[in-house]
Chain A
Amino acid sequence: MTKQRAPVESSKRYELVAAALRANISSGLLQPGFVLLEGPIAGLMKTSRAPVQAALRILEDEDLIHRFEGRGYLVGRLGSRVTPIRREISELGLRIPNEIDTALQNRGLWERVYEEVESAVSASLIFGDFRIIEGELGDYYGVSRTVVRDVLGRLHERGLIEKTQSSHWVAGALTAQSVRERFQVRQLLEPEALRTVGDRIQFDQLARAMAKFRADENIADAQAEWVQLDQALMEHAIFLAPNTHLVELIRQNQLPLAAASRALTKLGLPEDTVAANEYLVLFELVLDRAISAAATYWSDHLANVMQKNLARLKLVAVISDPPLGVPYLTIRDTE
């Protein structure tokens, strides 16, 4: 029989954060008017900002907190006249119930397993179709079925694995077609997102990223620089588009491409060394407030990058199938 799942352990991270905040609101430690900010809460709960964002939205729906003119949320229902209280949340001595704390710690384990599995799966995609054996995965990392399911569920959400009709988890081969289609989606969405970000673009952050790159120009490790520039572009511009659904689509679409790219680099394939310069041109256009030109440039850049990615994928054909080194991935001969 399946072991019973502890209710808290099976919860999603944002639910855990919401539960912790809710408990402290009802106990009065978080008093009406207290300003809740994502960053400090994330720091306190040892999590990223995304689950905190989601947790705050839940509490807002529950009418426990509300937005106000400033940054963040105020504790208390909308319409309650309170004066904003700005204090460090870490100084309040919030009580985080034990089971929630444990679950958050488990989440840490969960994330480490996730990273390893994602890396192994991404590396396998290049070599064909693979089946993931759940039992083997659990044994290999010494984790519960719940953790295995969460890990596989997340991989599924990120578009890296699928479930077959016979309920087997499979990692489908990375094909040129999927690379091309994902880049076409990028070309449709990202320039459009950039056009709509407007004043939300964090110009100072982009300028800083550019200056940092220029200062580091002579370092030997210049190859991965484009990755940092790309992150800066996404975090400080494109992901700030007002349409959050659009941003989510862009994020999701990039995940398998990024995972594949990391896997190819791990195999020893050279990185694109000229890409960094193209980012600099783009940043300069953005900093000159030539947003429309920047969007067009970004579209052209993505078309080039797609071609390079396709060429890079062809090159992988000369690498023979390596031993994957993990027992839970087995090749699936579809013929």
Chain B
Amino acid sequence: MARNARTATGVGRKRTLRVLGTAISLLEAVRVRASKDLGFDIEFEVLDFPSCQRKAALDPDSYDVYDQCFHNLGIVWHWGALQPIDTTRIHCWDQVGPLTKLGGVDKYANRGVGDVPKNKLYVQPDHSLGPNQTRYISMLPTVHNFDSFGYDVRLFGDGMPPRESWAMLFDQRVKGRLAFVDDPAIGLFDIALAAESLGVLSFVDICNMSPLELDALFAFLRRKLDEGFFFRCWSTAQEAADLFKRGEAGIQSMWSPAYAMLGRAAEHVREAEPAEGYRGWHGGLSIARHVDGDVLQMAYEYMDWWLSGWAGAAMARQGYYISASTPVTEHLTPSEWAYWYDGREATEDLVGVDGSTVVVSKGARRSGGSYLERARRIALWNTVMDEHNYATRAWSRFVAAVNLRAQ
């Protein structure tokens, strides 16, 4: 409807690209800059992960570009809401690194299990998604990161434990102060990694659990709830940061931007490098099925813009990586690049996306080391597993029970 109104105005009409996505990448600063660089209007619709995925699948006419994660892609693709992206029209395609194109940053890197981006990247001849390289892709890989958990080092005695493990989530020393992210495609795996690292449970495929395995996991979590391990669940990076700032959480799932919001708590909160590896996630951009003509051209320009450097630098200042990192070097200072990508000590205070708030103090060093070091240690990816419906309902009941006790 709105589109017809626009095109009807003829010459000099307002050109608008509608982007549906989440708060991870749809920052106002990004919208303003992209619109200025590209010469057309851009509208952002920001939703939480599940709502965004649902809208993308069921209402593809309501957006032009879908900005989400690879684990939120399969469902939307299956419903025929998206169209293949022709890589020959993406000028920056050659700059995209091997993590998504080949499945790992190098030959010996751990690939991780679950929704591995490479397995959903290429459009196969039968229109399904698979790892075999073709000219067409389902989603242009963009921002990504390798997440772990954060903890209050003071609770574990002097200095960091000799070996950091997801099992620390259920360490007696942090009993009653465990928090986690409430998204079932994310938080559930933090908890499952902890249960498996403890040796309490063992999953045939941790990212594709059977109903019986899920029942066992939730029985374990109920026991831990009764024992008083959990503090509460959170939905946004800000909430996670606040839990540490108020001294309520002792250990919890963490997203990269939350570390920059800790204030003075940053002195005693550490981002773990778990021995089992990280929980990876990878974002990207897809095009709605209905898009063609002028709008399709705008969508391709917008996607290219994302990989051309400025956006990658903005994402880096939140702790996120971008799939085409070379152009980013021109938009980050050498000390920013050294800290965020190379894992070296910050030679000066570093500011965030707003250009003024200090998010990294001089002398700090990024946990886990360089991009390559971190990317080689992926245990699993955020995943929407086959039993997602079954898992989500049990998960929601559990999250509600945890938060009820927190009140």
Q: Which residues of A contact B (CB under 8 A)?
A: 126-128, 173-177, 180, 270, 273-274, 307-308, 310-318, 321, 333-335
Q: Using A321-B393, A335-B397 as known contacts, say yes or no to A315 and B54 having CB atoms under 8 A apart.
A: yes
Q: How far is the CA of A333 from the CA of B53 in the complex (A)?
A: 28
Q: How far is the CA of A333 from the CA of B392 in the complex (A)?
A: 14
Top-5 shortest CB links A-B: A311-B78, A176-B386, A317-B392, A318-B54, A317-B389
Please report the total number of B residues contacting A with Cβ < 8 Å. 31
* Residue from the list B211, B218, B219, B384 in contact with A175, Cβ < 8 A: B211
Q: Does B243 contact A (CB under 8 A)?
A: no
* A309 to B, closest residue via Cβ: B78
Q: Using A177-B211, A310-B386 as known contacts, say yes or no to A315 and B79 having CB atoms under 8 A apart.
A: yes
Which of B184, B389, B392, B397 is packed against the most chain A CB atoms within 10 Å? Answer: B389
Q: Which residues of A contact B57 (CB under 8 A)?
A: 315
| Dominant secondary structure of chain B at its interface with chain A | helix
Q: Which residues of B contact A180 (CB under 8 A)?
A: 386
Q: Does B405 contact A (CB under 8 A)?
A: no
Which of A126, A273, A316, A318 is packed against the most chain B CB atoms within 10 Å? Answer: A318
B393 pairs with A128, CB closer than 8 A: yes
Sample (20) of A-B pairs whose CB atoms are under 8 Å apart:
A126-B389, A128-B390, A128-B393, A173-B393, A174-B389, A176-B388, A274-B80, A307-B78, A310-B386, A311-B74, A311-B75, A311-B79, A313-B388, A313-B389, A314-B75, A315-B79, A317-B388, A318-B51, A335-B219, A335-B222
Interface residues of B in 42-78 (CB under 8 A from A): 50-51, 53-54, 57-58, 74-75, 78
Q: How far is the CA of A315 from the CA of B80 in the complex (A)?
A: 13
A314 pairs with B384, CB closer than 8 A: yes
Q: Which residues of A contact B386 (CB under 8 A)?
A: 176-177, 180, 310, 314
Q: How far is the CA of A177 from the CA of B50 in the complex (A)?
A: 22
Q: Given A316-B389, A318-B53, list of 14 further CB < 8 A pairs?
A: A173-B211, A176-B386, A176-B388, A270-B79, A274-B80, A310-B386, A311-B74, A313-B388, A313-B389, A317-B184, A317-B391, A333-B397, A335-B218, A335-B222
Q: Does B155 contact A (CB under 8 A)?
A: no
Q: How far is the CA of A139 from the CA of B398 in the complex (A)?
A: 34
Q: How far is the CA of A317 from the CA of B387 in the complex (A)?
A: 9
Q: Report the minimal beta-carbon distance from A45 to chain B, rounded to whole angstroms.
A: 42
Q: How far is the CA of A43 from the CA of B393 in the complex (A)?
A: 46
Q: Which residues of B contact A317 (CB under 8 A)?
A: 50, 184, 388-389, 391-393
B387 pairs with A175, CB closer than 8 A: yes
B393 pairs with A127, CB closer than 8 A: yes
B387 pairs with A177, CB closer than 8 A: yes
Q: Does B406 contact A (CB under 8 A)?
A: no
Q: Using A126-B389, A317-B50 as known contacts, say yes or no to A335 and B394 having CB atoms under 8 A apart.
A: yes
Q: Which residues of A contact B392 (CB under 8 A)?
A: 317
Q: Does B106 contact A (CB under 8 A)?
A: no
Q: Report the minimal beta-carbon distance from B208 to chain A, rounded to whole angstroms.
A: 9
* A320 to B, closest residue via Cβ: B396
Q: Does B202 contact A (CB under 8 A)?
A: no
Q: Which residues of A contact B58 (CB under 8 A)?
A: 270, 315
Q: How far is the CA of A314 from the CA of B58 in the complex (A)?
A: 13
Q: Which residues of B contact A174 (CB under 8 A)?
A: 389
Q: Report the minimal beta-carbon distance from B60 to chain A, rounded to whole angstroms.
A: 10
Q: Which residues of A contact B53 (CB under 8 A)?
A: 318
Q: How far is the CA of A334 from the CA of B211 in the complex (A)?
A: 12
Q: Which residues of B contact A128 (CB under 8 A)?
A: 390, 393-394
Interface string of B12-52 (1 = CB under 8 A from A): 00000000000000000000000000000000000000110
Q: Which residues of A contact B80 (CB under 8 A)?
A: 273-274
Q: Does B335 contact A (CB under 8 A)?
A: no
Q: How far is the CA of A312 from the CA of B74 in the complex (A)?
A: 11
Q: Does B215 contact A (CB under 8 A)?
A: yes
* B78 to A, closest residue via Cβ: A311
Q: How far is the CA of A315 from the CA of B219 in the complex (A)?
A: 25
Q: Does B210 contact A (CB under 8 A)?
A: yes
Q: How far is the CA of A333 from the CA of B400 in the complex (A)?
A: 13
Q: Which residues of A contact B79 (CB under 8 A)?
A: 270, 311, 315
Q: Report the minimal beta-carbon distance from B12 to chain A, rounded to whole angstroms.
A: 37
Q: Which residues of B contact A127 (CB under 8 A)?
A: 393
Interface residues of B in 88-132 (CB under 8 A from A): 128
Q: How far is the CA of A274 from the CA of B128 in the complex (A)?
A: 14
Q: Which residues of A contact B50 (CB under 8 A)?
A: 317-318
Q: Which residues of B contact A307 (CB under 8 A)?
A: 78, 128
Q: Which residues of A contact B219 (CB under 8 A)?
A: 335
Q: Report the minimal beta-carbon distance from B31 to chain A, rounded to whole angstroms.
A: 26
Q: Which residues of B contact A274 (CB under 8 A)?
A: 80
